[in-house]
Structure 1
Amino acid sequence: MSASLEQRRHLVTAIPGPRSVELMARKSAAVAHGIGTTMPVFAVEAGGGVVKDVDGNSFIDLGSGIAVTTVGNSAPRVVEAVQQQVAAFTHTCFMVTPYEGYVAVAEALNRLTPGDHEKRSALFNSGAEAVENAIKIARVHTNKQAVVVFDHAYHGRTNLTMAMTAKSMPYKSGFGPFAPEVYRAPLSYPYRDEKDVDGTVAARRAITVIEKQVGAGNLAAVVIEPIQGEGGFIVPADGFLPAIAQWCTANGVVFIADEVQTGFARTGALFACDHEGVVPDLIVTAKGIAGGLPLSAVTGRADIMDASHVGGLGGTYGGNPLACAAALATIETIEADGLVERAAQIERLMLDRLHRLQADDDRLGDVRGRGAMIAVELVRSGTDEPDADLARIVATSAHQAGVIVLTCGTYGNVLRFLPPLAISDELLTEALDILTDIFKEATS
């Protein structure tokens, strides 16, 4: 983090400021229309819990670049590691002349991910790319083709991962046809499930759908986000994940945990599966893995990971040396700075404030999440009817007040909070104070 970047919210212009307005005009003329932005401001510096724009405005960061800068933007160890690596070499392609950094990242992932069995890892660039490769690995291992995903799921924007993603707009609409042999099962959604549907009942419901509509004999893999991301930060009821995993093991189906958004201390455990002691056959990671550099991975049981023929996995940039250096520094930062516990501290602070706000405002239908992955589902007063308009109004008002927040959810009615673990309690408290005032004034 730049020593000159003061850790405070500070607005010196209207939002957006004149330089951002100018740059947005250039964006409109140069960048494809389909690339949207959440906020109409352009960043020049970021670190700790703050993002600074070209007009000199400083925003409290509750987004972390969508859960990427978990250890903080430009974290010191990451900056130093990347600087050293870029001076040595920037690329050779691991498949041509390999280098130690790739191997060291694989060793770290094999050590840190759930389970003490023998593991292997393969590195890629994006979360979607890693999800696709996990499916490839599961298919060649099982010699089966079908894949099961869940309601509200988000797995990416490539053709296969669009098929796996539940929400049409904006992720899928108009982009088909999609990859075949993808099936969807019902998720445990405690806020919207009937009262008697606990985790084990919800798992039985999902398994019944899988057995009737797909059949274990045709099924290569079940893929699930242990806590859903774009779908609304839905935390399945206790017992749901273990029951699905146990069914997979009993039926020769590969259980794949998509921890792209939940991994690397984000949820107050190193991985979200750790909360219930679930050990996936394969785990997919990205986002927080490398402090802002593009890197992703598939890690899993050695016999499954080794099923592919030589040359069947890889890619020109997968495991780029700069990204590997950043990943090793990110992992060191998480372990040395106690960031798993820091995520748990953030959870306690945020949930306490949000539950108090919920007690005074029934439009906060549900407050949920783990660690520094917290959400509020907004509904119309006196009902459980989703209120996407209120979510939009609150988010836009927060942006104008200097707080970066994101929305998500199948119904577009969820505010999600993903602060960097480097953020101070003071900045978090100030952001929550601002949100409290916004809710008092907001109508939809």
Structure 2
Amino acid sequence: MTTVDMRTPAALAEAERWTAHNYHPLPVVIADAEGAWVTDVDGRRYLDFLAGYSALNFGHRHPALISAAHAQLDRLTLTSRAFVHDQFAEFCRRLAQLCGKDLVLPMNTGAEAVETAIKVARKWGYRVKGVPAGQANIVVAENNFHGRTTTIVSFSTDPDARDDFGPYTPGFTIVPYGDAGALADAVDDHTVAVLLEPIQGEAGVLVPPPGYLAAVRKTCTERNVLFIADEIQSGLGRTGRTFAIEHDDVVPDMYVLGKALGGGIVPVSAVAADADVLGVLEPGQHGSTFGGNPLACAVGTEVVKLLESGTFQQRSAALGEQLHAGLSALIGHGVMAVRGRGLWAGVDIDPALLTGRQACERLAQRGVLAKDTHGSTIRLAPPLVVTEADLGQALAAVKAVLDEARAG
């Protein structure tokens, strides 16, 4: 076999040659990482302001998480749920307590957790609410992003995610995000759940208007409907609270978690709810070979321990103020709007200056990695271990890119 030069140009060409083109990555080939920083194959360092779409909330190779993974790798990695392993109970107990719920159902990916929530909600609707068989309906929001399985893209309004993947799964009603009245009007006797992101990440870090989530909670309670909060991107410290929905003093019936739950080491997801909801499942009705495996539980337990102290939530809240203040100062100077909470921001670039892709390419040239979405919007989500100096450097890079574009 021929040895390939793995410096950036050659590595990019090899990736292009051998992989399906379902992503359009920036021309960066990462070889090493620690904390909020990554290093490419040519030795150039970058600030990671995407953090694996929040999967790396605790940074790259957090020592406590790496230690837990190494220790577990030396003992046991997989049993399947046909047996109980010695890491399972502690993970489930700690995560349930973090969520304030009775039970946890571990899975692997975020999309699997969303699919789990959909199945549980439907079964709850038939067994508990009394919805006629086959007629359960779930209300969702426009511009949502809950994953890319065939069921989930069936209720996506993003053409890239949805087009050409039909026939589509029925049983979903789509309403405008942030419109509590439209949502209430969409709920009927066959509605079993409302599934929402407390902050819509893929849509551009859209924060709902004040009172919206509380109004949704009220509707769900009055109409005997489950409120499912998809906190896969927004949860686990990202916004300055353990869960983004806490900013509105709202408690959902079900949390859907993923990404950061695996600490950037292994895929870990889960659904957390009380026994009257998750208790509808019986043996053989849902499962996963790798869901709740020993390695995942060992890492996930350490993630929950990090969150139990509240340190990362406090860091996100405090450093988020610096991030948002710095970005807001650029409004009118190439930035049209800034949204978000904590260490999470959606930044609308003036489309007359740059597309989001162009802005991210130029930021990468200045040593900051970010991701564009929907035209001229970029998302910034640094690991929660980022420092004030790191934030200052990234903000300076954003300003420099904008100043350069405005200068023509």
Q: TM-score, normalised by structure 1?
A: 0.85
Matched, 1:282 2:254: yes
Match of 2:347 among 376, 379, 388: 376
Looking at structure 2, the residues matched to 378 and 167 of structure 1 have their Cα atoms a distance apart, in angstroms, of 20
Indicate conservation of the 8 Å contact 2:108/2:268, yes or no: yes
After TM superposition, list the pairs within 5 Å mapping 1:42-191 onto structure 2.
42-93=29-80, 95-113=81-99, 115=100, 119-143=102-126, 144=131, 145-169=136-160, 171-188=161-178
Please, which runs of 5 or more residues in structure 2 have no aligned partner? Answer: none
Looking at structure 1, the residues matched to 225 and 306 of structure 2 have their Cα atoms a distance apart, in angstroms, of 35
Indicate conservation of the 8 Å contact 1:345/1:371, yes or no: yes
Indicate conservation of the 8 Å contact 2:355/2:375, yes or no: no
Indicate conservation of the 8 Å contact 1:290/1:328, yes or no: no
Offset of 1:277 from its aligned partner?
1.3
Matched, 1:230 2:202: yes
Indicate conservation of the 8 Å contact 1:390/1:442, yes or no: no
Offset of 1:397 from its aligned partner?
0.4
Change (3 A) 1:134 1:339: same
Q: Name the amino acid aligned to 2:344.
A: M
Indicate conservation of the 8 Å contact 1:124/1:297, yes or no: yes
Offset of 1:337 from its aligned partner?
7.1
Looking at structure 2, the residues matched to 335 and 304 of structure 1 have their Cα atoms a distance apart, in angstroms, of 25
Offset of 1:296 from its aligned partner?
0.2
Looking at structure 2, the residues matched to 125 and 60 of structure 1 have their Cα atoms a distance apart, in angstroms, of 27
After TM superposition, list the pairs within 5 Å mapping 1:285-304 onto structure 2.
285-292=257-264, 293-304=266-277
Indicate conservation of the 8 Å contact 1:71/1:334, yes or no: no
SS at match of 2:355: helix
Tell me how large the CA RMSD over aligned residues is.
1.7
Looking at structure 2, the residues matched to 332 and 420 of structure 1 have their Cα atoms a distance apart, in angstroms, of 17
Identity %: 32
Corresponding residue of 2:181: 204
Offset of 1:65 from its aligned partner?
1.2
Offset of 1:390 from its aligned partner?
2.7
Looking at structure 1, the residues matched to 155 and 77 of structure 2 have their Cα atoms a distance apart, in angstroms, of 34
Indicate conservation of the 8 Å contact 2:139/2:183, yes or no: no
Indicate conservation of the 8 Å contact 2:106/2:292, yes or no: yes
Looking at structure 1, the residues matched to 308 and 282 of structure 2 have their Cα atoms a distance apart, in angstroms, of 35
Matched, 1:311 2:274: no
CA displacement, residues 287-330 of structure 1 (integer Å, 9 cap, x when unaligned): 11121110000001211100122221211011121111111112
Corresponding residue of 2:338: 367
Looking at structure 1, the residues matched to 155 and 316 of structure 2 have their Cα atoms a distance apart, in angstroms, of 29
Change (3 A) 1:217 1:70: same
Looking at structure 1, the residues matched to 317 and 170 of structure 2 have their Cα atoms a distance apart, in angstroms, of 40
SS at match of 2:46: strand
Looking at structure 2, the residues matched to 119 and 336 of structure 1 have their Cα atoms a distance apart, in angstroms, of 21
Match of 1:391 among 342, 345, 356: 356
Looking at structure 1, the residues matched to 284 and 54 of structure 2 have their Cα atoms a distance apart, in angstroms, of 32
Indicate conservation of the 8 Å contact 2:98/2:308, yes or no: no
Q: TM-score, normalised by structure 2?
A: 0.93
Looking at structure 2, the residues matched to 401 and 380 of structure 1 have their Cα atoms a distance apart, in angstroms, of 20
Looking at structure 2, the residues matched to 412 and 122 of structure 1 have their Cα atoms a distance apart, in angstroms, of 37
Offset of 1:413 from its aligned partner?
2.6
Q: Name the amino acid aligned to 2:109.
A: S
